[in-house]
């Protein structure tokens, strides 16, 4: 399914993304000065026109000062208004034509406005981080901002040498000249714009203990004062990685990095190969361990297996929620059935006006979507039985590795592992707002 595209604009964010073309590589060369919060950038975006002649196309980019714009080395006509950079070639690009856009920009990056407050580039007390889900990526670079448009990335960032730069992917080089250091990261795996993560801060860098030879490399960037707490709280992450590879298939990227920002964050943030936590998620008592599992599970569900548009967000959050329950069950905590029962009691006490398969923009991050998503996965486990369920789960993650999926693709996939029809079960949990009864396994889980 890799590279599957949907031809229509995103129903929740029609101003974001352009389905008339697809990007396949971004090369970002950035310079960031944390004191004045000053960002200067150059992007080279390699892209391919869609099946129709491309008379114009757009990129999403916040209100920066623009420098040079080039299309295949020539200056095109362009306009930049309301977060949209519209580019018009001298003559329409033929269907399927490869083209390259170069954009130079500068300014003071800030979060973009959204129904959930500011998202995207966030200036910290000392440094910055990026938290772009769902439409914050244009707060710091020009992009085709739609989840289905996945591309490889190279990010080069030049910043004062006192700062560490973390990004998703492999650190290719780190070069210091005088008082500045340039960090270059390569992420070869197809990546959605909202999943391009970045953190800049005065961090200590260390390996996550417990990952053995031949296992996925795991690195952490942590404020020095939080190192003792971090070492305790994240000690079981390598065991999570082993469990999730057993259940979901091989880890889909080359490495996994965690950042602990020296600030309080409402929730951790997943990005491709990178998760960012707040200082409040590191308490020395493993009080946020379920969130460590949740963010790691997103590397399979959401990052590698990516939704075609935001209507399908339960495929990200429901599976990551269920991964929390699986980790709890397999590590000596409460069972998935006990956690499902608790989630069901919670949902039964709340309004039942959420349709999981199309929650609408207003409810796409509602807590109920996470809990009901986890319950939907658990209902399938109860219906399919242990062996068929875990085979179904692993096959979903491995067959759609680096691909793009929809809810209907998942229900069709799950049906192939059932002895009987799953149509009624999926319709009740996904398409009807009313809460179905608590699912119970035929033979205990």
Cβ count near 445 (within 10 Å): 18
* Same domain as 372, residue 231: no
Alpha carbons 87 and 99: distance in angstroms, whole number:
12
* Same domain as 124, residue 80: yes
pTM of the model: 0.96
Beta strands 218-222 and 256-261: pairing type? parallel
Nearest-CA neighbor of 98 among 186, 27, 192, 25?
25
Residue 237 region by backbone torsions, left for phi larger than 0, else alpha for psi between -120 and 50, else beta: alpha
Query: How do residues 232-275 score in pLDDT, each as one tens digit?
Result: 999 999 999 999 999 999 999 999 999 999 999 999 999 999 99
Residue 402 belongs to domain with CATH number: 1.10.390.10
Q: With 70 as the cut, is the pLDDT of residue 444 above it?
A: no
As a whole-number percent, the residues of the chain with pLDDT over 90 amount to 95
Q: With 60 as the cut, is the pLDDT of residue 117 above it?
A: yes
Is residue 40 included in any domain, yes or no?
yes
Q: Per-residue pLDDT averaged across 120-134, rounded?
A: 97
* Same domain as 331, residue 247: no
Is residue 333 included in any domain, yes or no?
yes
Query: How do residues 292-339 score in pLDDT, each as one tens digit?
Result: 999 999 999 999 999 999 999 999 999 999 999 999 999 999 999 999
Write down which residue in 139, 160, 194 finishes a domain: 194
Residue 68 belongs to domain with CATH number: 2.60.40.1730
Q: What is the pLDDT of residue 212?
A: 77
* Same domain as 224, residue 181: no
Q: Per-residue pLDDT averaged across 14-35, rounded?
A: 97
Q: With 70 as the cut, is the pLDDT of residue 133 above it?
A: yes
* Same domain as 189, residue 50: yes
* Same domain as 152, residue 215: no
Is residue 440 included in any domain, yes or no?
no
Q: Which residues neighbour 322 within 8 Å (Cβ) at sequence distance 6 or greater? A: 336, 373, 374, 377, 378
Is residue 336 included in any domain, yes or no?
yes
Write down which residue in 137, 160, 194 finishes a domain: 194
Q: What is the pLDDT of residue 8?
A: 83
Q: Per-residue pLDDT averaged across 134-151, rounded?
A: 98
As a whole-number percent, the residues of the chain with pLDDT over 70 amount to 98
Is residue 107 included in any domain, yes or no?
yes
Q: What is the pLDDT of residue 33?
A: 98
Is residue 436 included in any domain, yes or no?
no
* Same domain as 106, residue 148: yes
Q: What is the pLDDT of residue 443?
A: 62
Is residue 14 included in any domain, yes or no?
yes
Q: What is the pLDDT of residue 31?
A: 98
* Same domain as 338, residue 290: no
* Same domain as 244, residue 374: no
Residue 391 region by backbone torsions, left for phi larger than 0, else alpha for psi between -120 and 50, else beta: alpha
Count of structural domains within the chain = 3
Query: How do residues 72-83 score in pLDDT, each as one tens digit?
Result: 999 999 999 999
C-alpha neighbours within 13 Å on the C-beta side of residue 58: 20
Q: What is the pLDDT of residue 417?
A: 98
Q: With 50 as the cut, is the pLDDT of residue 428 above it?
A: yes
Is residue 364 included in any domain, yes or no?
yes
Q: With 70 as the cut, is the pLDDT of residue 3 above it?
A: no
* Same domain as 179, residue 217: no
Q: Per-residue pLDDT averaged across 215-242, rounded?
A: 97
Q: Which domain holds residue 49?
A: 1-194
* Same domain as 96, residue 58: yes
pLDDT band, residue 1 (cuts 50/70/90)? very low
Write down which residue in 194, 215, 234 finishes a domain: 194
* Same domain as 15, residue 69: yes
Residue 217 belongs to domain with CATH number: 3.30.2010.30
Q: What is the pLDDT of residue 5?
A: 46
Contact yes or no for 35/127 (Cβ under 8 A): no
- For the stretch 289-326, what's the b/e string if a residue is b when 16 or more beta carbons lie within 10 angstroms of its beta carbon? bbbbbbbbbbbbbbbbbbbbbbbbbbbbbbbbbbbbbb
Query: How do residues 199-217 score in pLDDT, each as one tens digit?
Result: 999 999 999 987 778 899 9
Query: How do residues 147-164 score in pLDDT, each as one tens digit?
Result: 999 999 999 999 999 999
């Amino acid at each position: 399914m890799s590279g599957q595209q949907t031809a229509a604009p995103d129903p929740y964010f029609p101003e974001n993304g352009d389905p008339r073309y697809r990007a396949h590589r971004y090369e970002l060369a950035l310079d960031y000065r944390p004191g004045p919060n000053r960002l200067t950038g150059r992007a080279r975006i390699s892209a391919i026109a869609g099946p129709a002649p491309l008379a114009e196309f757009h990129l999403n980019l916040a209100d920066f000062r623009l420098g040079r714009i080039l299309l295949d080395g020539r200056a095109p006509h362009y306009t930049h208004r309301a977060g949209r950079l519209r580019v018009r070639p001298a003559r329409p690009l033929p269907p399927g034509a490869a083209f390259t856009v170069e954009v130079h920009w500068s300014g003071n990056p800030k979060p973009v406005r959204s129904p959930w407050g500011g998202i995207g580039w966030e200036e910290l007390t000392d440094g910055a981080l990026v938290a772009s889900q769902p439409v914050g990526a244009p707060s710091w670079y020009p992009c085709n901002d739609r989840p289905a448009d996945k591309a490889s990335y190279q990010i080069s960032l030049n910043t004062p040498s006192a700062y560490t730069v973390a990004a998703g992917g492999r650190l290719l080089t780190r070069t210091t000249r005088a008082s500045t250091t340039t960090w270059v990261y390569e992420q070869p795996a197809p990546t959605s714009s909202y999943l391009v993560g970045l953190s800049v801060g005065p961090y200590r860098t260390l390996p996550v203990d417990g990952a053995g030879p031949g296992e996925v490399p795991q690195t952490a960037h942590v404020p020095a004062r939080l190192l003792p707490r971090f070492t305790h709280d994240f000690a079981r992450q390598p065991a999570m990685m082993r469990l999730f590879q057993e259940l979901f298939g091989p880890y889909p990227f080359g490495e996994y990095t965690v950042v602990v920002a020296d600030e309080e964050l409402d929730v951790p943030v997943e990005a491709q190969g990178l998760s960012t936590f707040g200082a409040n998620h590191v308490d020395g008592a493993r009080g946020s361990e379920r969130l460590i599992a949740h963010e790691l599970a997103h590397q399979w569900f959401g990052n590698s297996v990516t939704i075609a548009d935001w209507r399908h967000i339960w495929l990200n959050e429901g599976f990551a929620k269920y991964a929390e329950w699986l980790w709890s069950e397999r590590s000596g905590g409460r069972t998935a059935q006990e956690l499902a029962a608790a989630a069901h009691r919670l949902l039964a006490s709340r309004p039942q006006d959420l349709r999981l398969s199309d929650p609408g923009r207003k409810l796409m991050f509602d807590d109920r979507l996470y809990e009901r998503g986890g319950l939907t996965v658990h209902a399938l486990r109860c219906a399919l039985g242990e062996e068929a369920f875990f085979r179904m789960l692993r096959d979903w993650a491995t067959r759609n590795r680096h691909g793009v999926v929809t809810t209907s693709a998942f229900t069709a996939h799950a049906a192939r592992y059932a002895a009987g029809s799953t149509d009624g079960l999926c319709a009740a949990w996904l398409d009807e707002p009313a809460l179905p009864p608590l699912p119970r396994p035929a033979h205990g889980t």
